[in-house]
Amino acid sequence: MSTFTELGLNDEILKALQDLGYEKPSEIQEKAVPQVINSTDDLKAFAQTGTGKTAAFSLPILQLLDAKSKNTQAIILSPTRELAVQIGNNIKEFSKYMKGVNVLTVYGGANIDEQIRGLRKGVQIVVGTPGRTVDLIKRRQLHLDNVKWLILDEADEMLNMGFKDELDQVLEVTPDEKQTLLFSATFPREVEAIARNYMHNPIEITAGQKNTGSDNVSNEYYVVTERNRYPALKRICDANPDVYGIIFCRTKRETAQVAENLMQDGYNADALHGDLSQSQRDAVMQKFRNKTLQILVATDVAARGLDVNSLTHVINYKLPDQTEAYTHRSGRTGRAGNKGISIALITNKEVGRLRPIERKINKKFEKKEVPSGEEICKSQLFSLIDNVKKTEVNHEQIDSYLETIYSSLEGLEREELIQKFVSVEFNKFLKYYTNSRDLNVAERERGRDDRGKARDDENMSRFFINLGRKDDLNPGKLIGLINQQNITNNVEIGQIEILDTFSFFELDKNFTDETITAFTDATFNGRNVNVEITEKRKRSGGGRREDRRGRGRRFEGGRREDRRSDRRKGGSGNYDKNKSGKSYGPDRSDRRSADKPDRSAGFGRRRS
């Protein structure tokens, strides 16, 4: 492990780091600082937040910066206002003993004139959100022709937030000879494309894989309706006859209920939650550890610290409220070199909750189809055959009956015998799953930003904005503009209508006032932006639709313009297709019976 001095930093920086209490470089700092100081090669760094990456890219820049020149030498792009401000403040702290170093943070939602005045004083390092940075470039207030370093911080997040166009625009106005440093927690296709198109043979470094999921765990999800969550759970268990796993529920009540239902339906399951006495919990855990219990239904709290090495599955009956909790849950499987599967049962409304988890675990979920009755029968059949092969014959007990049995089965061929014996068990499954319905729901398209689906209209406020197609606005840019205002974290955006000279968008109505305030000083391509609340548009009826703002109708040029309706997450079309396009079984009575518990069905693989 090196020291900061060994990384090649000057005394002023070292002193500042000492003030901050930074004793030793973090892993990413140890790798990135000397790399940037000693080479002009582009750098692609895999790093999570919280690993010390701000210092990793700021310190070498401060070391190499020409403080005598007032030109902007470094531009740092960051996805959010908060992060940009934090980076700007950190750099000010790192450079507090350096003379003549100026840093400015620029972001939407703040007074642009003040930022322009700041730029005019001459700043060597600019930290900005993509939208405001582009705005200042277009106004010819931010000049990037002398930039030596371009830093893309949290590149994946910027692309997720719809800033692709802005990144392209900034990248295009910076000199070719600059050094590009790209930091990202994940490297999806879009980030790789940026690296491919704008970086030259980048050096790759990786550091601080904290909070990532185990490589031995594959993450899968099933999209079902709320009503079918439990039947889907049963099918997953049935399709995996040797399942040895934990089903996580969100509440004690839900845990108790799911465990109770599974037990009644013949599964080898039990519950573990905080309302049980210590001795009950110990007894359940004992059974689970020695594998006489196959399925443990548990709350997060109860299963904390549970250390069982050979779990095949973790099933998220409901996703946890905190993204972090998913890693704890899934980390119960895939231990000690074993492979494991972590399953999430979600409704269409919850699809958007997968993306933050994917970012956290740095892995993609694989979509799976709830197994059909036929698939379950097949896996049960082969499991049965496997069990037959493995079963030891207890001669002591059975030998005295064998003579009679042989004579009563006389005349049956070998194949016929096998078929009949296997069918004794198998027919129960065949019967149970006859006419079983398809429990899958077609997933609504995951759009450009998966931070959640647009909600139903009643949860949305509708806004007018004085920009349209003629102002070069499109749905992506409008989303970018909304995101730049930092109204609140993950605010949901609903329908967007882009017209020629003005547009409409819907946003979570809980943030109506914040939205109006956030847009007060906003600009787009040098135009002042005006956002006002409008009446919700009427969806029913075939008549002419009117959009009313507080001050009356607004039809530009007296005619309605052709309109295109876009949902940020691209959802509604697919959803409808799904509703009408799937066959859900012959009739309602069949549907009900197909998943009704049949205690005689015999797939309670109770071992105890």
Residues engaged in binding ligand AMP (CB under 6 A): 22, 25-26, 29, 49-55
Smallest distance, ligand AMP to C-beta of residue 59, A: 9
Nearest CB to ligand AMP, comparing residues 21 and 337: 21
Smallest distance, ligand AMP to C-beta of residue 183, A: 9
Nearest CB to ligand AMP, comparing residues 51 and 503: 51
User: Is the CB of residue 283 less than 8 Å from the CB of residue 295?
Assistant: no
Smallest distance, ligand AMP to C-beta of residue 493, A: 27
Smallest distance, ligand AMP to C-beta of residue 57, A: 9
Of how many residues is the chain composed? 608
Nearest CB to ligand AMP, comparing residues 182 and 269: 182
Closest CA to 191 of 179, 178, 204: 204
**What does 575-594 look like in DSSP terms, one character per residue?**
HHHHHHH----S-HHHHHHH
**What does 131-160 look like in DSSP terms, one character per residue?**
HHHHHHHHTT-S--TT-SEEEETTHHHHHH
Closest CA to 343 of 362, 316, 365: 316
- Provide the 3-class DSSP secondary structure of residue 315: strand
Round to whole Å and give the CA distance between 10 and 62: 9
Round to whole Å and give the CA distance between 571 and 52: 38
Nearest CB to ligand AMP, comparing residues 6 and 576: 6
Smallest distance, ligand AMP to C-beta of residue 21, A: 6
The Cβ of residue 584 has, within 10 Å, a number of other Cβ atoms equal to: 14
Smallest distance, ligand AMP to C-beta of residue 13, A: 12
Nearest CB to ligand AMP, comparing residues 51 and 95: 51
Smallest distance, ligand AMP to C-beta of residue 103, A: 15
Smallest distance, ligand AMP to C-beta of residue 130, A: 19
Round to whole Å and give the CA distance between 601 and 605: 11
Smallest distance, ligand AMP to C-beta of residue 77, A: 15
CA 327, 332, 338, 342 torsion: positive or negative?
negative
Nearest CB to ligand AMP, comparing residues 78 and 380: 78
Contacts of 158 (CB under 8 A, 6+ apart): 77, 78, 79, 130, 152, 167
Smallest distance, ligand AMP to C-beta of residue 374, A: 51
C-alpha distance from residue 485 to each of 109, 283, 301, 330, 522 (Å) = 5, 54, 38, 35, 8
Nearest CB to ligand AMP, comparing residues 14 and 256: 14
Round to whole Å and give the CA distance between 299 and 254: 9
Nearest CB to ligand AMP, comparing residues 78 and 268: 78
Nearest CB to ligand AMP, comparing residues 52 and 468: 52
Round to whole Å and give the CA distance between 53 and 87: 10
Closest CA to 281 of 312, 259, 310: 259
Smallest distance, ligand AMP to C-beta of residue 18, A: 11
Nearest CB to ligand AMP, comparing residues 23 and 176: 23
Nearest CB to ligand AMP, comparing residues 29 and 515: 29
Nearest CB to ligand AMP, comparing residues 53 and 568: 53
Beta pairing partners, 315: 247, 343
**What does 480-536 look like in DSSP terms, one character per residue?**
HHHHHTT-STT--EEEEEE-SS-EEEEEEGGGHHHHHHHTTT-EETTEEP-EEEEPP
Round to whole Å and give the CA distance between 167 and 203: 21
Q: Residue 184: enclosing H or E segment and its boundaries?
A: strand 179-184
Smallest distance, ligand AMP to C-beta of residue 80, A: 13
Strands (E) located in 48-102: 74-77
Task: Please state whether 208 falls in left (phi above 0), alpha (psi between -120 and 50) or beta.
Answer: left
